[in-house]
Structure formats: structure tokens, C-alpha cells
Structure 1
Amino acid sequence: MIKQLSPDAATVRKLPDQRWQIAIAQADQVKAIAQATKLSPLLAQVLLNRGINSPEQAQRFLHPETEVLTSPLDDFTDLPLSLELLINAINQRQKIAICGDYDADGMTSTALLLRALRTLGAQVDYAIPSRMSEGYGINQRIVEEFYDEGVKLILTVDNGIAAHQPIARARELGVAVIITDHHDLPPTLPDANAILNPKLIATTSPYRGVAGVGVAYILAISLAQSLGKTYELGNSLLELFTLGTIADLAPLTGVNRRWVRQGLQLLPKSKLAGVQALIQVTGLSGAKQMKPEAIGFRLGPRINAVGRLADPQIVIELLTTDDDGEALERAMQCEQINKQRQQLCEQIEQEAIAIVEDAINQTANGLASPFAPPTKGRVLVVVQPGWHHGVIGIVASRLVERYGVPVFIGTYEDEAQTHIRGSARSIPEFNVFDALQFCSDLLGRFGGHRAAGGFSLEASNLEALRSRLQTFAHQCLQPEHLKPLVVIDTQATVEQLDLSLYAQIDALHPCGIENPDPVFWSANVRICEQKRIGKGHIKLVVTQDDAITEARKFTAIAWRWGDYYPLPSHLDLAYRLRTNDWNGEISLELELVGARKPSAIAAVTFLLNGRTYTCEELKHSAGRQLRIRNDQGKELIVQQGQKVATLNEAQREPTSVDICKPPYYAVVKAASEAIDSANGKLGFV
């Protein structure tokens, strides 16, 4: 007896709930750029997607070192005055002090200027405010301590552009101030002697996108040139610039692209003891080349972890020492602190997910929830006691990735739970800084930019803040925005993927913000094998085939997709290309970023002799194809007109079976009738 089940009764495998944005193919321009650059048409399309519209632009992009740079003295109006102040302080043996920040950008900036100024003969020291007790940026305590120590010139790095009161106090005490920062400009600027900020220069300048470490690098190199001591600095500053720029997610365009490209070549053989020690403890020793992801996922997090959980002095000493023993000791401290950071993030993330899922379930069951679920409120505001506010920003990013909505996450700063400090992360359609301004009367301190921010408030204002943010979210977000966005460059077949294509991608590096790694997608990919690995990941073997011919197989990794295991047997997949070097043998792998049900497949579920089956139809070049799965995970692939089908079972090689014999004949006949009944088609067999 055959019984077709309704969709509600079917067992549906969960997939990432995403929206795919696939770039429009531009065949004529692709051909011209591919011919001019000798790149694969796939990568020519990638260049077009990055706004590179002509062969001439493509050549400049691929060879950034050929671009003639303007002088930073022309672009940064206050740079000549800054150099004059520094040269006078050096010549007069005046004390100089640096006020840095506790993130990777601020710490690498501080270390860069310390190394440069000491090499150039300055008397210089530094201070970084406490993340836990003081928060971001220069403050009056630091200014007055500098003054008491006899400091005559203060340099801020990666902060200061909105620090009106501390800088006014410094000037009142007779201390000169140079602000070097890259954050958004306030309505009025502080009364510093000089301000270096790329937001103050022309939008067309190649220096426009530099991070705080980029401003520090420009100042240091310009100072060395003015003193005729460029040779003394060597290449160490470029390495620190590269670390800070990538770790801070600065756009890899303009001089960032040019200088990071050079810095990545230097890092594997770094002359800095601290960098070599960090490379050693992160398992990157022996690497012939360094990719941005090595910094973004290996070196950068270990630097950032210290600023989040411990004393930034550890990183400053790591990056300024020339003693190998001290460098290794500091690098090991970074490693241990990063492990602590990972554990905290995992714990807080799981607790936050449990809170959100409980709200979703309560709402689905018609029960009252402490806050609206993501699709209803269009923004998540999650606050819990006991969370470490040094890592909640990372958790906010993971929740954005999971739920596809802006996330505001906070924790209480006191046992009485009267004050909250939080972090925010966003999606492209939602401006965090505008949202915080919309709620400014409910907040204490706040700041940030379009994609991220920080804030504090009295606990009594929490519900009002949640309501206000939901109002703002409903003004700028539509329901279609509430899914994680996967931006895809172009479609590729599995047969087009090889090491030659991967080598060509090197020409596009360094990849990162505003120049992301290419993302390809392939249709109707077969999942041959899959298993859970690590803490919530899936490792797969995939191919793209039909029942007659079989393509090459690739290993694929799906980070943090454990909730979707097991994945269906056939999917459209979006991915980046990666390599795996095992025992000297390099192989190409796929890093999955998106999955969806193949659009060409229609599925029905039916019962046969008390057993549940799911049947899917695919329109293939070789004709119609049925894929039939039972409740034990076995899958039968039947090609129209063929008597031999392929049987797939977990952990086994595919086998061939005769569908004219039992039990396969009855199963195929039932599946054909079920799917044809559902879709109004003629019989399959």
C-alpha cells in the first residue's frame, strides 16, 4: 500500500537558512579581462565583482607596486606639524608618551611607534587604559600621570578623536598632543596640536582606508625620512603594520593592499623575536608564505585575546623585545589566554543560543517570551549576568552569523545588576552607530560604526532599549533581510576546480575586507561521505555527477555546521577554495559557506509497507533521475531508461543494483507514482 505524506508529515533535514546573492555574469567583460590578464574566466568575473571593470584597472590591481603613490605629507594636513613636534621633542630630549588601545590594532600601533621612536633616539613610554575598569580611549587619569612623569608630548594611537576632555586637560597642563586615529569623526574635533586621521583626507587618497596602525606607520616612516634614518628602521614596522591591519579588519585596498602584500612576504622570516615566537606557538613555523587568514585566525586572535582578558603589556613586550627567551615566554602567555578566551566564547555562545531558542519555542507555542524572537523583533538584545564583557563582542558576531539579525549583547558590570555594558554586531542593512544614536537618551557611553559598536546603560533602561531597537530595526529591515547573507562571485563546476585555479587566486591576494576571497557555487553536488569532527564541524567528501559518469571527489569542511548534520545527499554548495598540505602532498579542499536544496529538485515523501521514503526528481542532461532515500539513510539513484541503479550507504562504497528485481522494483515504482502524482507528470518507469 502506497501512501503519500503531506509536507508537514515529512521528515525535513535542516539547512542553513540563508539568502544567496550571486553576482550577475558579464560575459563580454569577462572575456576581455581574462585575455588581458591570462586569468581564468572565473577569476575575471571575480575582478568585475570587485569593481575592476577594464583590463587596465585589472593590471593595476594585480600589480599594486606599480602604482605611483602621493606623498602622505600632501594628504595629511597636520603631518608636517606632527613631524616638527616630534623632531623638537627628540632633539630637546623631552619625554614622549604613547596612549594606545587594548585591541590588536591599538597594541600593534603602540609597539610600532615604541620601536620606531626608540630607534630614532626618543625618550618614550606608553600607557593603555584598563578595559575592565576604564574602557576605551585616553582619559584624564592617564593624562595627569603622564604630566606627573614629566611628559611633554602625548601621542594617541587608535583612539583620541572623540576625547575632548582628556585632551583639553593635557593642553591646560602645557602638554602637547598629537592624535593618530582612524575612527569616525565627531561633530567637533578635540583641541589637539595636530590630528592625523584618514577620515579627514580626500576619499580618493590611497591612504583613506588605513587603520590606526596604518596612521602610526605613516607617521613613523615620515619621521625617519625627515631625520634621514629610514635605513635604521628596517622592515620590522611593515610586519607590525601587516599584523594590525589584518587583525583590525581594515579594507585591503589602496596602500593597505600594497603594504600588506609586502608584509606577508616578510612575516615567515620575521626578524622580530616576538613575531617568530608567536608563529612558533601557533604551529605556523616553516610556512613558506603567509596568507591573511593565518593572521586573521591564528596570530590575530592570540594578540586580541590578551587585550580582552589580561594585561596588554604582555603583547607590547612581545612585540618590542629582542630577547628570544622573553619573546617565547610572552607568546606562550598569549596562547594560554587565547585558550581561555575560546572556552569563554563557547560557553557564552551556548548559553545565548539556549536563551534565544527558548524564546523562539515559547513564541511558537503561544507562550509569553521575555523578548521577541529574531524574525519578529528583527534584532536580538540578549543580556545575562556573569558573562565576560571582554569576549561578548565575539559571541555577538557568531549570533549574527547564526540568526542573520543585528545582535546587541550585554552583561552586568556589578553584583547588584544595576549597570550593563554591551557590544553590538550587525548585518549590511542595519547601521549600528545610527541605532545607538536613536537610543542615545537611554544609554550612558556608546560608540562604533556601521557594523559594530559598544554601549553602556542603566539596567532599568533595558526593556526600553529593547523596544527602541526593535522600532529602529522595523524602520530599516524587511523580512527578506533576516537571513544570513552569502555573497557569491560565480558558478563553477567541480571539474573546473584544480590547483592551477587556486594558484591564480594568489594573484588576487591579499584577500580580506573589501577584497574577500572568491566564493564559488556548484549545483547539485553529491555528498558522498560526511561525519562530525571537532566541536560542531562537519567534514565531507563531495562530487558532482550523474548515474553514468563520476567527477573527481573533493574533501570539504563546514565549520560550525554540526546542527545541520547529516546534510542531504544532494545540495547546491557555496564555498571558498583552500589547500591541505599533508606529508608534503598538497590537495585542494572546499570550505563551505552556504548550502541550499537544488532548485531543480522536487521532493515528496511516501510510505511503502510501513516504511517511510523520500523521493526527489532531478532534471539532468542525461534525462530524468530519481533519488530515493529510506529512513535508514540508504539512497537509491535511478536514471530514466536504465535498469541498473546506484545504491549509496553510509561508510560504504556505492554499489550497483538491478531495479528489475525485488525489493528495488517495488520501491522505484512506488516512488515514480508518488512523485508523478505530486507533479502531474507521466510515469517514470
Structure 2
Amino acid sequence: MIQSSKKWKIQKPDESFVGQLRKELNITSLTAKILASRVKTIEEAKNIFYMDDRHLHNPFLLAGMKEAVERIELALDRGEKILIYGDYDADGITSTTIMLNVLLDLGADVEYEIPNRFTHGYGPHEELFRKAHENGIQLIITVDNGISGIEPIRLAKELGMDVIVTDHHEPGDELPPADVIVHPRIPEGHYPFGELAGVGVAFKLAHALYGEEPDHLYEYAAIGTIADLVPLTGENRYIAKKGIEQIRKSNSPWVKALCEASGVKQQEIDEEIIGFYFGPRLNAIGRLGDAKPGVEFLMSGDLEFALQGAKLLNQKNNERKEYVASITEEAIGMIENDPRIGNSLVLVVAKEGWHAGVIGIVASRLVEKYYKPAIVFSIDPETGLAKGSGRSIEGFHLYNELAKNRDILPHFGGHPMAAGMTLSREHIDELRERLHRQASQCLTEELLTPKLYIDVPVDLGEVSVEAIEEVQSLKPFGIGFEKPVFAIQQVSVRSMRKIGANEDHIKMELENEYGILDAVGFNKGFLYNEITYGVKISIAGDLQINEWQGRKKPQFFILDVQTSEWQLFDYRGKANVPNLLNNIPMESSFVAFRKETLQYFGEFLPSIQLIEDEMYGSLSPFLVLLDLPKRVQEMEKLIETARPKRIYAVFYTPNSLFFNGMPTRKHFVHYYTLIKSRPFINLNEHLRHLSKHLGLNAEAIKFMTKVFFELGFVTIENGLIKVNQFAEKRSLTEAASYQLRKQQIELEQQFLYSTYSELKQWFNERIKEFSYS
């Protein structure tokens, strides 16, 4: 059995709807299943499969767009100084870059400002607005921020500057006193698509200012949209899709430099490369300090300058990774070593000096590892204030739960799954205790079990290069249109081997009656020791195309594996058994029937359970059988008691009797006649001669002697064997040693020298029998 740490939730697509989609769109069953899990109508499916510029809305449908364009054009006519006020993340950096491009193209006297995460915090800042006024700025245009900057914008107006706010973040109860607000959800429902990223709103403003679709700005819009994790549906999907197409063929120096720095091929850029390579590099620079070099990089027209900028982004991204790795390691140490922290349903960790720019990423890592809500605080030793970032799980609304602690949380904000906050360091432990009590009221065991949502169950017969290529035409995948997770159920492992320099990965061939499929599991080399041939497994993951030397083959990338079948692992007769035991989970029960086995394995294993007089104790469902019992009934009773999910058959037998066999009746008669013909026999002196004369090995002769002694046929004194002239006639089978040898040989034949299939069948019959009893 392989039990996944996650609970699989496999969606069953409506077969009739899948059939309709296949017919109407002329697509494969694979693509139809994906669409069926995401849309409810044929029309919705067509909008995804055949995406075109109909999804790009007129920018003037946005409330305030007309007024914003008029005010900017007035500034251009008057030669006013304009300030673009951005944000320090990838969305804010790309938004700033778009506005810079359009205003410079239109001949504006323009500069830009991005607040420092640590000095100024998020959004409009009074100090920076005063500085702008001193520099003669007459018009401020915010991008990807501003909707919550009420007081700084009021100050800007008092100073005589006009303000246009372009933003996409959630508005509060009060709106800022800006001259114009361009926001896809203000007023609610006025615009056909309310989920634009900040860069999407900036792109719409650029479109309106140019008077035509600005194709050259899609590169920036795609990166900001994907990096900001807004839903990749509707207009966002069109922006991302077209932007990816533009980036793939772009001649922009920054694109070339970013590809080189990230180690990716430009023609292979997709939403995953943007999300995992480009976005983090742009985010890193603002996480660790001044984000302005990010804008300078995206504006670079010179390859040499762009390469230097990309080098800086790489450097900052590597620093960010080091900070995250170091803080995560420290946080895990706190959780593992402090029961107050580790036993809490909400993990709260804090330390002085942790880099505040990455604590949100660390919180995400802790949620991934422990599947509990997590909050990470960086404490300022001078002020005693702790700045925190939290991530949550389904069922624990982080913002609402934090709101119940306003008396000790003076500053907090966020969403159901993520939040930021500041509080005094002396309240950290109290916050943990309160959140634990709150979580105990709403987090059930079910909610604390991570889920793996699988939306596309697949048969091997559906998998082909053509089908996978068609699925890839549905890209980009992201929030709201998630990358599909495929599941192939009840397939056998045809072959498997560890791969990679350290054998950390695994490569398998999977098969059933519908076909054969290659599968690769990165960092899943451990599965080699957990899967046995013949068992039916189910795998979840991704379907891709492997191209090698011009040949294309489907390939499955393994995300998770499970099987409900019990498994037999055959370690019989293996060389260097102690080393092999290192591959067995230590939570297994290591079982021995014989005391001498304890001596052999005692130095290799920390604990061995000796089975005596049917006393079994507590047994793991992973059962390691180190040796053989004396009677088959002992094995049957053990299987009935343990109800194992895995059996590791070692069956250490230092003195195997199977190949020696049982001496025949003729051997016994011949030996007895020989003893009877002499007054006595000194067994120690004549053993070699007897062995040669009888054609039996020494062990067999000693055994026959013991049988004769137990039956009273001979006496043994001081090593001298004499026939008992007055012995009664008895059957050989009456001797205890004869019975034990017979049983031992039968046990060895049954367990030690049977084929794998025979051994598994024996256990299978008992496990099934006891499962139904």
C-alpha cells in the first residue's frame, strides 16, 4: 500500500457534455474533459478554445477613462510635469513601465517614483508626495496602488497637485479624494471584466491614450498579469496569451537578457516560465530594497545595459532564495523543537532580524510542509514591533480570524488566505494561543488534511502526442483556469529504475490493456523502494511531450502516487540484507519468531519484536518478517493480527534444511542396521566414515541419531551409541525432531523457496480471508 499524504478529489466529468464538446469543437476526449471541468456551456468552451480580440474591451468602458485621458492630454498640451507613482512588485514595476512608455512616446515631461517597501511601505506616501511637489510635479498618476491612499492623496490635493488613481486592489468604505479614479470595479459592475491586474488597468489607459491597441506593450502586461496571480480568464487571459506570443518573438534587449539570466529558451516561454522565472526576479528586487532598477531594466534599449540589469535581478533573486532557505530552516527548527509552537493549530514563529521582505514566502513554505495556517514575524529590536505575514488553508479565514484580535493587533489587512500585520513583540505568544483556540473551533481533521484536486481522469488509450499538443493550445493556465491535474488509475508498473546522479528521481513504464506510457518522478526516487511489480497503482500529475533526437513521445510527470493494494517486498536470499533494511520505513514492525534471529539483526535494527506464545503486542501495518516460524499457524495468526498493508519477506534462515531434505526410510533402516551390527559407535570419531558409507551429510546423520534416541531405539552415553535391544516398535513420525524437521522443510518450501507469485498468493489468500472475517 502507498498512502498519499493528500486526499485525492477526482472530478468525474459529465460524459454527455464531454461528448458534446468533442462533437461541436472537433477536439480529443482529453481536451474535452479539461473544458468540461471548467465551463458549463458550449459557448464558454468556444471562448476559451478560440480566443481572439473580441475579449479585448474598449478602454473607454472603464469609468473615469475619458476624464483621465482628457486630464493627461491637457498636461501634455501645457507641458506639465507628470509623476508616475508605482509599486514595488512585478505588477507595479510593469505598470510603471507601461505608463512611462506611453507618456514618453507622447512627449510628456515625465518621471516615476516607487516607494521603498521598508522605508515607505505600500501605496501613496506623504513624504514622497511632498518631494514630488517640491520637484514641480503637477499631475500624479498612480499605477497598481492608490485606492487606499486617502490621506496622502488629500495632502497632494492640498498642495495643488492633481491625482489620477489607476488601481485594481479592493477598495475600502471610503475612496480617496482623487480627481479621477480608474478601477475595473468602481463603480461595481460597470466594466465587463472586473479582474484586471494593476498592469491591465495601466494597459487600458495606454490603449486609450494611443487611440489604438498598443501591441508593443503586451510583453509587460503579460508579465505583470501572470506574476500578480489574478484570474487568467476573460480579458486577462487574452492579455497573457497575446503577451506570451509577443515575448517569444520579441527583439527587446531585456527579453534576451532575462532569458539568458534565467537559462530559458525564448521560443519556449510560457506562463510557467513567466510565473517561476521572470516574475520572481522582478519581485525579488522590490522585496530586498529599491525596485527602481526593475523599471530601468524593462526600459533598457541597449543589450549590454540589459544584461547588467538582468545580472542584478539574478543576484537579488539568489539573495532572496538564500534568505528564504535560511529563515525557513530556522522556523522549522522552532516548530520541531518547541511544543508550544509545533502543537498549535496555527503556526506562529518570530525572530529578530529575519528579512521582512521574504517572510510571506516563508509562511507559504510552512503551510506547504505542515498544512496549517502559518504566520512569520520579523521583530525590530529597536522598536519592539513585529512585522508579520501569514498564509492560510481552506476553512480558516485568516483576515476574519485576525479581526477577532484587534485589541492586540493595531495594524492588519489581507484576505481569507493571506494577510499582513504588525503588533508588539510581547503579544506574539498570546496571538498564537488565541488563534489556536479559534482554529480548534473551525478546523476539523478533514480540513487539516491537504487535498489534491484532480480534474481529468485519463485512460492510457486517450494519451497521444497529438492529444497533448491540443491540450497545450488551451494555455495559458493559471488562477481561475488552472493547469489540469491528470490521474491515471489502476495501471501496472512494467519497469522502473532510479535516475539522476544521486538516484533521486525515478523513471517508469506504466501499462494496462490500453497501452504503455513513460512516467518520470523528479525527487521521487524513494518510490523505487515502495512499489512492487504486479501491484496496480494510480498516479496523478501532468502530461507532457518528451522530444529526443527528433522523436516525440508522451510522458507523464508524477506529482503523487497511491495504491490501496497490499504489497509484498521480496528480500529473500538477498546479499547484504542489513543494508537493504535501510530502505524499509522505520515505523515498520520488525518481527522475529526465533531468539537466534535477534542476535544476528540486533546490531542493525533498533527494535525487534519477538513473537512468543502468540503475544504480538502493537503491530504496524508495515510488517518485516525477519525469519520463519516453527509452525505455519504462527504465521497465519500473525497475519490475522497485523492485517498488513506491506510485507517485507526477509526469512533469514542460517541452517536451511530444504536442500538437505528428509532422509528416506531406507536411509533410516540402513543406519539402524549398521549400528545394530556393532556393540557401539562413537559418533564423533566415526561421523566422517558414516557419512561416506551412508551417502548422507553429517547433519542428516546427527538428525537420524536424534530421532532414534527420541524413539528409544538407541542410548547415548559419553558419545557412544548403542542399540536398545528392548525398544518397542514405533513409527519414525512419532519423534518430535522428525516432526520439526518435516515442518521446517515444508515452511522453507512454502516461504523461502517458493516463487514470488506463489508466496504472494499464499499471503493474499490469508489477507483476504481475514479482511472479510
Q: Normalising by structure 2, what TM-score?
A: 0.73
- Asked whether the equivalents of residues 411 and 422 of structure 2 are also in contact (C-alpha less than 8 Å), the reply is yes
Match status 1:679 vs 2:768? yes
* Amino acid corresponding to residue 338 of structure 1 in structure 2: N
Q: Which residue is 2:239 aligned to?
A: 259
Partners of 2:551 and 2:189 in 1: CA distance: 45
Match status 1:557 vs 2:521? yes
Q: Which residue is 2:112 aligned to?
A: 126
Counterpart mapping for 1:63-78 below 5 A: 63-65=50-52, 67=54, 70-74=57-61, 76-78=62-64
Match status 1:316 vs 2:282? no
- Asked whether the equivalents of residues 608 and 670 of structure 1 are also in contact (C-alpha less than 8 Å), the reply is no
If asked which structure has higher relative contact order (CA below 8 Å, sep 6+), I would say 1
Match status 1:282 vs 2:244? no
Q: Which residue is 1:496 aligned to?
A: 462
* Amino acid corresponding to residue 323 of structure 2 in structure 1: L
Larger CA deviation: 490-499 vs 98-107: 490-499
Match status 1:61 vs 2:79? no
Shift in Å at residue 565 of structure 1? 8.1
Partners of 1:200 and 1:580 in 2: CA distance: 47
Partners of 1:460 and 1:533 in 2: CA distance: 49
The residue matched to 2:362 in structure 1 has which SS?
helix
Q: Which residue is 1:605 aligned to?
A: 623
Shift in Å at residue 24 of structure 1? 2.6
Q: Which residue is 2:471 aligned to?
A: 505
Shift in Å at residue 304 of structure 1? 1.2
Among candidates 132, 147, 151, match of residue 137 of structure 2: 151
The residue matched to 1:676 in structure 2 has which SS?
helix
Partners of 1:241 and 1:534 in 2: CA distance: 40
Q: Which residue is 1:327 aligned to?
A: 306
C-alpha change, 1:250 and 1:383, in structure 2 (3 Å) is same
Match status 1:160 vs 2:125? no
| Count of aligned residue pairs for this structure pair | 608
Q: Which residue is 1:197 aligned to?
A: 183
The residue matched to 1:64 in structure 2 has which SS?
coil
- Asked whether the equivalents of residues 303 and 334 of structure 1 are also in contact (C-alpha less than 8 Å), the reply is yes
Shift in Å at residue 629 of structure 1? 4.7
Q: Which residue is 1:90 aligned to?
A: 76
Q: Which residue is 2:196 aligned to?
A: 210
- Asked whether the equivalents of residues 30 and 471 of structure 2 are also in contact (C-alpha less than 8 Å), the reply is no
Match status 1:594 vs 2:560? yes
C-alpha change, 1:524 and 1:589, in structure 2 (3 Å) is same
Among candidates 378, 394, 400, match of residue 411 of structure 1: 378
Shift in Å at residue 206 of structure 1? 3.9
Shift in Å at residue 19 of structure 1? 1.9
Larger CA deviation: 302-311 vs 591-600: 591-600
Gap runs ≥5 in structure 1:
1-11, 360-368, 618-625, 633-658
Question: RMSD of the alignment, in Å?
Answer: 3.2
Among candidates 522, 539, 555, match of residue 573 of structure 1: 539
Per-residue CA deviation, residues 638-677 of structure 1 (Å, 9 max, x unaligned), is xxxxxxxxxxxxxxxxxxxxx9998441766555444433
Partners of 1:81 and 1:399 in 2: CA distance: 46
Per-residue CA deviation, residues 565-604 of structure 1 (Å, 9 max, x unaligned), is 8544464221022344555555443333333333688976
Partners of 1:589 and 1:203 in 2: CA distance: 44
C-alpha change, 1:388 and 1:28, in structure 2 (3 Å) is same
Larger CA deviation: 488-497 vs 148-157: 488-497
Partners of 1:545 and 1:681 in 2: CA distance: 30
* Amino acid corresponding to residue 47 of structure 1 in structure 2: L
Match status 1:302 vs 2:281? yes
Per-residue CA deviation, residues 71-92 of structure 1 (Å, 9 max, x unaligned), is 3322x22111111211111111
C-alpha change, 1:522 and 1:170, in structure 2 (3 Å) is same
Counterpart mapping for 1:374-393 below 5 A: 377-393=344-360
Q: Which residue is 2:418 aligned to?
A: 452
The residue matched to 1:311 in structure 2 has which SS?
coil
Partners of 1:664 and 1:481 in 2: CA distance: 48
Q: Which residue is 2:25 aligned to?
A: 37
C-alpha change, 1:471 and 1:198, in structure 2 (3 Å) is farther
Partners of 2:622 and 2:312 in 1: CA distance: 56
- Asked whether the equivalents of residues 281 and 316 of structure 2 are also in contact (C-alpha less than 8 Å), the reply is yes
Q: Which residue is 2:658 aligned to?
A: none
Q: Which residue is 1:5 aligned to?
A: none
Q: Normalising by structure 1, what TM-score?
A: 0.81
Counterpart mapping for 1:379-528 below 5 A: 379-412=346-379, 414-416=380-382, 418-526=384-492, 528=495
Shift in Å at residue 553 of structure 1? 4.1
Partners of 2:375 and 2:67 in 1: CA distance: 41
Per-residue CA deviation, residues 539-573 of structure 1 (Å, 9 max, x unaligned), is 22233347xx79534232346x6888854446422
C-alpha change, 1:79 and 1:430, in structure 2 (3 Å) is farther
- Asked whether the equivalents of residues 388 and 421 of structure 2 are also in contact (C-alpha less than 8 Å), the reply is yes
Shift in Å at residue 141 of structure 1? 0.8
C-alpha change, 1:243 and 1:70, in structure 2 (3 Å) is closer
Gap runs ≥5 in structure 2:
569-620, 630-634, 640-644, 652-747
Q: Which residue is 2:663 aligned to?
A: none
Match status 1:349 vs 2:313? no
C-alpha change, 1:628 and 1:462, in structure 2 (3 Å) is closer
Q: Which residue is 2:341 aligned to?
A: 371
Partners of 1:262 and 1:427 in 2: CA distance: 33
Shift in Å at residue 531 of structure 1? 4.2
- Asked whether the equivalents of residues 201 and 208 of structure 1 are also in contact (C-alpha less than 8 Å), the reply is no
Shift in Å at residue 108 of structure 1? 0.8
* Amino acid corresponding to residue 280 of structure 1 in structure 2: E
Partners of 1:515 and 1:354 in 2: CA distance: 37
Q: Which residue is 1:81 aligned to?
A: 67
Partners of 1:671 and 1:494 in 2: CA distance: 27
* Amino acid corresponding to residue 518 of structure 2 in structure 1: F
Per-residue CA deviation, residues 296-348 of structure 1 (Å, 9 max, x unaligned), is 11111111111112321221111012111111110111112212222222222
Counterpart mapping for 1:590-669 below 5 A: 590-598=556-564, 605=623, 607=625, 609=627, 629-630=648-649, 663-665=752-754
- Asked whether the equivalents of residues 432 and 449 of structure 1 are also in contact (C-alpha less than 8 Å), the reply is yes
Partners of 2:551 and 2:319 in 1: CA distance: 34
Shift in Å at residue 534 of structure 1? 8.8
* Amino acid corresponding to residue 555 of structure 2 in structure 1: E
C-alpha change, 1:200 and 1:429, in structure 2 (3 Å) is farther
Identical-pair percentage: 32
Per-residue CA deviation, residues 189-235 of structure 1 (Å, 9 max, x unaligned), is 1111111222325558443111111111111111111xxxx48xx52
Q: Which residue is 2:666 aligned to?
A: none
- Asked whether the equivalents of residues 161 and 183 of structure 1 are also in contact (C-alpha less than 8 Å), the reply is yes
Partners of 2:322 and 2:75 in 1: CA distance: 46
Partners of 1:37 and 1:235 in 2: CA distance: 29
Partners of 1:280 and 1:167 in 2: CA distance: 41
Q: Which residue is 1:25 aligned to?
A: 13
Shift in Å at residue 607 of structure 1? 2.1
* Amino acid corresponding to residue 124 of structure 1 in structure 2: V
Q: Which residue is 1:137 aligned to?
A: 123
C-alpha change, 1:203 and 1:194, in structure 2 (3 Å) is same
Shift in Å at residue 143 of structure 1? 0.6
The residue matched to 2:754 in structure 1 has which SS?
helix
- Asked whether the equivalents of residues 425 and 452 of structure 1 are also in contact (C-alpha less than 8 Å), the reply is yes
Shift in Å at residue 459 of structure 1? 0.5
Among candidates 243, 251, 269, match of residue 271 of structure 1: 251
Partners of 1:682 and 1:410 in 2: CA distance: 50
